[in-house]
Amino acid sequence: MSYHWSTTPFIQLYDNIQSNPDDTTQQQQQISLLLHDLSQLIKHPHKNDSSRKTLESGKVKFSDDLEYELNHQFKLDSIKLADDLNLDEISSAELLFLANDINNGNGGDLDLGVSLHDSAMANYYTRRQYILQILLYYICINSPLIQSNNQLKNPRS
């Protein structure tokens, strides 16, 4: 199962939780798409020789099942990011690709004005933070302490 490296689906789920906490149907649909990422919490695929060889070949397939041809500088940047994060080289290339989209205005409304490497690092840690916030929300709403407080406030429930 592949990981979702874009922060967009996590942001959408978190926004949905905040704006529509009672709309569990839509949340369940979003969770089903992100279940692998959420269940892995903050784990990620580590660097490995097979991925590095695939990256060095210049042709990679990302989680969108499309094949991309990478230039030499992009491959070097991906390897540096993989080394910095101890992350699988294909995953780091996808993070860089997504960061490049954001920096070029294709993935968001804001040009961050930072290097591609720093933007990819920020996306990696932002994704991680959203995963933790989403899981914390569901842990809290299912906590016996929270449920007992809700029953005290709403004794008819």
| Residue 144 covered by a domain | yes
Whether the CB-CB separation of 121 and 81 falls below 8 Å is answered with: yes
Whether the CB-CB separation of 4 and 63 falls below 8 Å is answered with: yes
| Residue 132 covered by a domain | yes
Provide DSSP, 70-112: --HHHHHHHHHHHHHHT--HHHHHHHHHHHHHHHTTSS-S---
Which has more pLDDT, 153 or 115? Answer: 115
pLDDT value of position 155: 46
Domain count, the chain: 1
Q: What range does the domain containing 46 cover?
A: 8-153
| Residue 79 covered by a domain | yes
* Distance from C-alpha of 157 to C-alpha of 154, rounded to nearest angstrom: 6
| Residue 18 covered by a domain | yes
| Residue 109 covered by a domain | yes
Residue 6 has pLDDT above 70, yes or no: yes
- 70-108: pLDDT as tens digits: 999 999 999 999 999 999 999 999 999 998 876 555 544
| Residue 91 covered by a domain | yes
| Residue 3 covered by a domain | no
- 7-46: pLDDT as tens digits: 889 999 999 999 988 888 888 888 888 888 888 877 888 9
In 20-48, which residue ranges form alpha helices assigned H by DSSP?
24-39
